[in-house]
């Protein structure tokens, strides 16, 4: 008996094509299935997270691959920012409905273009300057104080950001376009996530706090604890306004710094499902993944109502040293301790600091929810309970209320 590729869907349903087949595409496929669809993904490699679970997988990264992939798609969208502008423009010239379009997406690809545009719009951003020679950095630091060096294109998850501007000459010599940016004193980081459709409808989720480690988002608290209602509404309106001004179709994540005085400045923009929105799978009536599909297909958008007072997402990162327990066994133990924790694994090989999954916890009290989410994610990463909990400890020690709901036959 031969394995076979699926035939086309037997009735007219939209086909959304996603360029890139990482975990964002993987989770978008789950949302597409509910809408009667099957996400088509363009994978760079056969073992990409979405390629492992989708029925409609194309392989390739060049323009001919994108063209073949786009044929018959109702909308083409992205799970990363890495598609060159010339490819995007070629697809648009072919008549492919690309969402977000190249003009909008450029602002998520090029930090200098983004910063300059936001300044034009009167949006608060850190002081910045392009870097053409090492002296530009010295001048900037003399004028504005402590600074951070950033690659204008291609940075993510802490890559493309240098706190020590010692390597300017070397980076410039290697052809990396650079900018320098004021190191903003900050209380914490926030994200305002919104969606906008080609028709012009838009929807915003509650503003969340994002917690970073080594430049990567590792926890998301929804809603951002203690955030003033007016400030939160202001951040949502800012994100909606940026979406309109840049002509974004699909999701827009506006990463924000909250300064010690409470003022917000925009850090980065992303126009795709975003790590800060994973909590919406269980924590919002409509997940970011379904909303992105609805937006790029110009469907009416879904309600963004939270489903619990406190939701925390924690990323599962590959541990520094391989844990002394298989991932499957770690899942087993996690489920035994926390029957209510939601687990999402991406099918990725574990490597140090690599995002291989996430967990989500929902509840009434943010501190409790956060503690449980962090314990769960750390356990899956390392096979260590950081609170010292042991399955052999006396009853009650670290026992979980959820466990008592599960009867023993």
Closest distance of CB 109 from a second copy, Å: 22
Euclidean distance between CA atoms 167 and 183, whole angstroms:
17
Q: Which is nearer to a second copy, 149 or 222 (CB)?
A: 222
Closest distance of CB 77 from a second copy, Å: 18
Euclidean distance between CA atoms 78 and 66, whole angstroms:
11
Q: Tell me the CA end-to-end span of the chain in Å, nearest whole number.
A: 40
Q: Which is nearer to a second copy, 5 or 395 (CB)?
A: 5
Euclidean distance between CA atoms 97 and 119, whole angstroms:
29
Q: Which is nearer to a second copy, 204 or 217 (CB)?
A: 204
Q: Which is nearer to a second copy, 124 or 325 (CB)?
A: 325
Closest distance of CB 166 from a second copy, Å: 37
Helix ranges, 85-145 (H): 85-93, 102-109, 111-120, 134-144
Q: Which is nearer to a second copy, 39 or 105 (CB)?
A: 39
CA angle 272, 378, 330 (to 5 degrees): 100
* β-strands 16-19, 40-43 pairing: parallel
Closest distance of CB 12 from a second copy, Å: 6
Strand partners, 42: 19, 58
Q: Which is nearer to a second copy, 6 or 164 (CB)?
A: 6
Q: What letter does residue 260 receive in the DSSP assignment?
A: T
Closest distance of CB 242 from a second copy, Å: 10
3-state class (DSSP) for residue 130:
strand
Euclidean distance between CA atoms 71 and 241, whole angstroms:
33
Closest distance of CB 194 from a second copy, Å: 8
């Amino acid at each position: 008996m031969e394995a076979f590729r699926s035939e086309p869907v037997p009735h007219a349903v939209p086909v959304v094509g996603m360029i890139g087949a990482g975990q964002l595409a993987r989770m978008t496929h789950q949302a597409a299935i509910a809408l009667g669809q099957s996400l088509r993904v363009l994978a760079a490699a056969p073992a990409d997270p979405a390629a492992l679970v989708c029925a409609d997988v194309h392989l390739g990264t060049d323009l001919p691959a994108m063209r073949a992939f786009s044929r018959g798609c109702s909308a083409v969208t992205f799970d990363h920012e890495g598609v060159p502008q010339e490819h995007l423009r070629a697809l648009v010239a072919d008549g492919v409905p690309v969402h977000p379009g190249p003009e909008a997406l450029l602002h998520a690809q090029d930090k200098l273009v983004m910063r300059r545009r936001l300044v034009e719009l009167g949006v608060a951003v850190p002081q910045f300057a392009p870097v053409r020679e090492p002296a530009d950095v010295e001048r900037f630091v003399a004028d504005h104080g402590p600074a951070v060096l950033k690659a204008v294109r291609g940075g993510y998850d802490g890559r493309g950001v240098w706190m020590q501007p010692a390597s300017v000459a070397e980076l410039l010599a290697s052809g990396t376009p650079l900018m320098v940016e004021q190191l903003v004193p900050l209380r914490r980081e926030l994200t305002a996530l919104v969606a906008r459709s080609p028709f012009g409808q838009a929807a915003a989720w509650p503003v969340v706090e994002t917690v970073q480690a080594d430049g990567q988002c590792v926890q998301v608290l929804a809603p951002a604890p203690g955030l003033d209602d007016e400030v939160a509404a202001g951040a949502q309106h800012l994100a909606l306004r940026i979406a309109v001004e840049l002509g974004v179709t699909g999701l827009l994540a506006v990463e924000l710094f909250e300064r010690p005085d409470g003022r917000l400045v925009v850090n980065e923009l992303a126009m795709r499902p975003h790590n800060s929105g994973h909590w919406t799978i269980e924590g919002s009536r409509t997940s970011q993944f379904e909303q992105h599909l609805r937006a790029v297909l110009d469907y009416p958008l879904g309600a963004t109502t939270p489903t619990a007072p406190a939701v925390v997402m924690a990323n599962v990162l590959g541990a520094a040293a391989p844990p002394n327990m298989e991932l499957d066994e770690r899942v087993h133990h996690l489920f035994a301790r926390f029957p209510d924790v939601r687990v999402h694994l991406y099918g990725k090989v574990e490597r140090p600091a690599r995002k291989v999954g996430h967990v989500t916890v929902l509840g009434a009290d943010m501190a409790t929810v956060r503690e449980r989410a962090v314990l769960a994610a750390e356990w899956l990463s390392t096979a260590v309970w950081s609170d010292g909990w042991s399955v052999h400890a006396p009853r009650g020690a670290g026992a979980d209320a959820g466990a008592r709901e599960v009867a023993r036959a």
